[in-house]
Amino acid sequence: MTSPKKQGLLREASHQIIAGGSAGKTNFRFQIQRGTSDPHNYKSLADCFRTVFRNEGIYGFYKGILPPILAETPKRAVKFFTFEQYKKLLSLTGLPAGLALSVAGLGSGLTEALVVNPFEVVKVGLQANRDSFQVQPSTFSQARNIINADGFGLRGLNKGLTSTLGRHGVFNMIYFGFYFNVKDAIPASQDPTLEFLRKFAIGLASGTISSCVNIPFDVAKSRIQAPQPIPGEIKYRTCFQTMGLVYREEGIIMCSIVLISMPRCLLLLLGGAVMLLVYEYVSGWLNKNW
């Protein structure tokens, strides 16, 4: 017979996983451009859309979509479930509450990165392929090709792991730390509409700050996981080596090239706010009704 303590833990875990799972094509082509001399460079977001459609057809916009679909729900579930567990553990250490929230966010981001990185490697490989009309392997074929060629390690299915750890770790550290610290500091409203707007505004600010700080890690991850500029020669090796190389060769703008795509930025910022709100409201409903 299941003990009450174990039953309570299972119920709590199921609440966090369901709420986290409920809460969930990067502008990748811009991120892997290499300076202004590359003849394949896109001049603008509109030019990117036109070129992809002309060369690869409508399917070109959906390349690499299956890996994030497969990963999205478990990724969000892992993010929120591990955050709650790390937060609970850190509350026993005597750390100040505000710091504990940020450290719990960092821990959840690192855990999430370990889960999501293989999906990212497959997605990047599919999206970097410009020959949609000629050769376009399926998601599972792409994964099999990577494993057969380079295995599961840091040159294969887990290529770019350090950058992914940095991307998710830094993002979640700021995302959760900022949101819950500021939310606790600003008094709640009794009016449901005003309370929703309060949480949404804090979530929007949290998503904005964490996304901006996160950009160099995202660019480094894409460069490492994408095909190298010269076949057989590894130019982008590690996270910080890649950041330094991009900065030296292409300047600070290329380190933040994702900002070119304002629609994507808007979606990221709104998505960050909505994800936290969905998690909070679904989690609250589950705790009350189940």
Q: Residue 62 has what pLDDT?
A: 54
Q: Residue 212 has what pLDDT?
A: 82
Give the contacts of 138 (CB within 8 A, at least 6 positions apart).
Answer: none
Judged by average pLDDT, the poorest of 52-56, 62-66, 204-208, 251-255 is 62-66
CA 120 to chain centre: 9
Residue of higher predicted confidence among 103 and 6: 103
Q: Residue 61 has what pLDDT?
A: 56
- Three-state DSSP class for residue 50: helix
- Phi first, then psi, for residue 222 (nearest 5°) are -65, -40
Burial class (CB in 10 A: 0-12, 13-18, 19+), 194: exposed
**The CATH classification of domain 27-289, taken from the options 3.30.930.10, 1.50.40.10, 3.90.79.10, 3.30.70.580:** 1.50.40.10
How many CB atoms sit inside 10 A of residue 129's CB?
18
pTM: 0.71
Nearest to 72 by CA among 123, 30, 27: 123
How many CB atoms sit inside 10 A of residue 166's CB?
23
Q: Residue 260 has what pLDDT?
A: 45
Give the contacts of 179 (CB within 8 A, at least 6 positions apart).
Answer: 202, 203, 206, 276
Q: Tell me: the pLDDT tens digits for 71-88?
A: 666 777 888 889 989 999
The stretch 179-191 carries a mean pLDDT of: 91
Q: Residue 75 has what pLDDT?
A: 77
Q: Residue 258 has what pLDDT?
A: 47
Q: Residue 96 has what pLDDT?
A: 93
CA 252 to chain centre: 22
Q: Tell me: the pLDDT tens digits for 251-270?
A: 775 555 544 445 555 666 66
Opening angle at CA 21, ends 66 and 127, nearest 5: 20
Q: Tell me: the pLDDT tens digits for 140-150?
A: 888 898 999 99
Are 159 and 118 in contact, with CB atoms under 8 Å apart? no
